[in-house]
Amino acid sequence: MGRLSEVRSVFVRAYTRFRFGRTEHVCQHWRSHPGQLNLFD
């Protein structure tokens, strides 16, 4: 069995986006680092 990869998180600040014809206010949050998930390995 392989070694578990190091868990990396990035902080996302609050922002406003326009999606599906609506304005959304996204609160600040933590998320996994882009590219961290390997679904088909």
Q: Is residue 8 part of a domain?
A: yes
Q: Is residue 3 part of a domain?
A: yes
Task: Tell me if 30 sits within 8 A of 9, measured CB to CB.
Answer: yes
Domain holding 13, by residue range, is 1-30
User: What average pLDDT does the structure give for the chain?
Assistant: 81
Q: Is residue 39 part of a domain?
A: no
pLDDT (0 to 100) of residue 26: 96
Q: Is residue 19 part of a domain?
A: yes
Q: Is residue 36 part of a domain?
A: no
pLDDT bracket for residue 2 (50, 70, 90)? very low
Distance CA 28, CA 19 (A): 18
Over residues 14-28, the pLDDT tens digits come to: 999 999 999 999 999
pLDDT (0 to 100) of residue 1: 43
pLDDT (0 to 100) of residue 25: 97
> How many domains is the chain built from?
1
pLDDT (0 to 100) of residue 8: 79
